[in-house]
Amino acid sequence: MHDTILIEGITFHAHHGASDEEQVVGHRYSVDVVLEYDIRPAAQSDDLSQTINYSAVAKRVLAMATENRFRLLETLAERIAADILQNFPASAVEVTVRKLLPPMKVPAQATGVRIRRCR
C-alpha cells in the first residue's frame, strides 16, 4: 500500500471554459490532489524537510489554475499533474478538478475530471 498526502478542496475563481463567455466571466473551481510518497522518514523524524510540504503544493496549484486560461478541465488537470511531478518528489499524483455549479441546462453540483500520473 502506498502512503498518500491529501490536499482537498483548493477553491478559487478562474477563467477556464469551452465558451468565450466562460473565459471572460470566469467560474468557481475546486481541486483535490493526492500525492504518493513514502512518509515514513518524516513520521519517524517529525521533520518537515523529510516530506512534501502540502502548503507549497497548494500554492503551485493555485498559481497554475489562476494565472492561466484553458478551454478544458482536462488540460488544467494535466498541467497541474505535470507541474507537481516536476517540482516535488512524489512517485505519483492524482488530480481532481471540479467546476462548481457548472452552467448547464441540467442542474449539477459539479462537473470534473480526475487523472493519475506516475513518474
Q: How confident is the model over 6-24, as a mean pLDDT?
A: 91
pLDDT at residue 1 is higher than 70:
no
| pLDDT value for 23 | 82
Task: Provide the pLDDT confidence category of residue 2 given band limits of 50, 70 and 90.
Answer: confident
Q: State the catalytic residue, choosing from 22, 76, 96, 99.
A: 99
Give tens-digit pLDDT for 57-98: 999 999 999 999 999 999 999 999 999 999 999 999 999 999
* 14-18, 48-52, 111-115: segment of lowest average pLDDT: 14-18
> What is the distance between the alpha carbons of residues 55 and 90, in angstroms, rounded to a whole number?
15
Extract the C-alpha cell encoding 73.
478541465
Q: How confident is the model over 30-42, as a mean pLDDT?
A: 97
Q: CATH number for the domain including 71? A: 3.30.1130.10
Task: Provide the pLDDT confidence category of residue 104 given band limits of 50, 70 and 90.
Answer: confident
Output b/e per residue, 61-100; b: 16+ Cβ within 10 A: beebbeeebbeebeebbbbbbebbbeebebebbbbbbbbe
Counting the structural domains of the chain, the total is 1
Domain of 96?
4-118
> What is the rounded average pLDDT for all residues in the chain?
95
What backbone torsions phi and psi does residue 14 show, to the nearest 5 degrees? -150, 175
Q: Is 99 a catalytic residue?
A: yes
Helix H, strand E, coil C: the string for the chain is CCCEEEEEEEEEEECCCCCHHHHHHCEEEEEEEEEECCCHHHHHHCCHHHCCCHHHHHHHHHHHHHCCCCCCHHHHHHHHHHHHHHHCCCCEEEEEEEEECCCCCCCCCEEEEEEEEEC
